[in-house]
Amino acid sequence: MAREIPFFVPDIGPAERDEVDQVLSLEGEGKIDALEEAFRKKTGATYAVSTNSGTSALHLAMCAMDLKRGDKIICSVNAFPSVPEVVRHFDAEPIFVDIDGDDFNIDLDALEKVLEENRSKKLKGAIVNHVAGQPTDLARLYDIAAKYGIKIVEDASDALGGTYDGRPIGATGADITCFSFSPHMKNSIANAGMLLCEDDTLHERATLLRNHAIQSDGWDKYGNLEYVYDVVDIGCKYDISLLDAAYALAQYRRIDKMVARRQAIAAKYDKALAGVKHVTLPVKKRDHIYQQYIIRIDRNRDGFARALKEKGVHTGLHYIPLHLLSYYKQKYGLRVNDFQQALQTYQQVLSLPIYHNMSDDDVAYVCNAVQEVAAAHI
Domain-terminating residue out of 197, 219, 253: 253
pLDDT bucket at 226, cuts 50 / 70 / 90? low
Average of per-residue pLDDT across 192-206: 97
Is the domain of 245 the same as that of 112?
Answer: yes
Question: What local confidence, expressed as pLDDT, does residue 270 receive?
Answer: 98
- Is the same domain home to 52 and 159? yes
Q: What is the pTM of this model?
A: 0.95
Residues 223 and 262 in one domain: no
Q: In which band, very low, low, confident or very high, does the pLDDT at 220 lie, cut at 50, 70 and 90?
A: low
Helices (H), 89-169: 108-117, 138-148
Residue 281 CB burial class (10 angstroms; 0-12, 13-18, ≥19): middle
Cα separation, 120 vs 148, in Å, equals 10
One domain for residues 112 and 184: yes
Last residue of a domain, one of 203, 238, 253: 253
CB atoms within 10 A of CB 188: 15
* pLDDT tens-digit map of 321-353: 999 999 999 999 999 999 999 999 999 999 999
Chain centroid offset of residue 334 CA? 25
DSSP secondary structure of 188-217: -S---EEEEES-HHHHHHHHHHTBTTEE--
Domain that includes residue 235, residue range: 14-253
Pairing label, strands 47-51, 193-197: antiparallel
Looking at the chain, the whole-number percentage of residues with pLDDT higher than 90 is: 89
Q: Specify the pLDDT at position 346.
A: 98
Strands (E), the chain: 47-51, 72-76, 93-97, 123-129, 151-155, 163-164, 167-168, 176-180, 193-197, 214-215, 230-231, 279-280, 293-297, 349-352
Residue where one domain finishes, among candidates 213, 238, 253: 253
Count the domains in the chain: 2
Q: Tell me, what amino acid is at 25?
A: S
Q: Are residues 165 and 94 in the same domain?
A: yes
pLDDT exceeds cutoff 70 at 85: yes
Looking at residue 190, its pLDDT comes to 87
CATH number at residue 321: 3.90.1150.10
The answer on pLDDT for 107 being more than 60 is yes
The number of helix segments (H) and strand segments (E) in the chain equals 13, 14
**Residue 227, pLDDT score:** 73
To the nearest whole percent, how much of the chain has pLDDT over 70? 96
3-state secondary structure of 96: strand
- Position 163 scores a pLDDT of 98
**Buried-exposed string 46-66: b where 16+ CB fall within 10 A, e elsewhere:** ebbbbbbbbbbbbbbbbbbbe
pLDDT tens for 272-295 read 999 999 999 999 999 999 999 999
User: For 86-93, what is the mean pLDDT?
Assistant: 98
**Domain at 113, CATH number:** 3.40.640.10
Is residue 217 in some structural domain? yes
In terms of domains, do 232 and 89 share one? yes
Query: Do 237 and 264 sit in the same domain of this protein?
Result: no
| Distance set, CA 318 to CA 15, 57, 78, 111, 153 (Å) | 30, 21, 8, 20, 20
In one-letter notation, the amino acid at residue 177 is: T
Asked whether residue 276 falls in the same domain as residue 247, the answer is no
**Cβ density class 234-270: b for 16+ within 10 Å, e for less:** ebbebbbebebbbbbbbbbbbbeebbebbeebbebbe
Binned at pLDDT 50, 70 and 90, residue 173 comes out as very high
Q: What pLDDT was estimated at residue 170?
A: 96
Residues 189 and 326 both lie in one domain: no
Residue 95: φ, ψ to 5°: -110, 115
**Mean pLDDT score of the chain:** 94
Q: Answer yes or no: are the C-beta atoms of 299 and 278 closer than 8 Å.
A: yes
The answer on pLDDT for 221 being more than 90 is no
pLDDT of the residue at 274: 98
- 182: confidence class by pLDDT, cuts 50, 70, 90: confident
Residue 98, burial from CB neighbour count under 10 angstroms (0-12, 13-18, 19+): buried
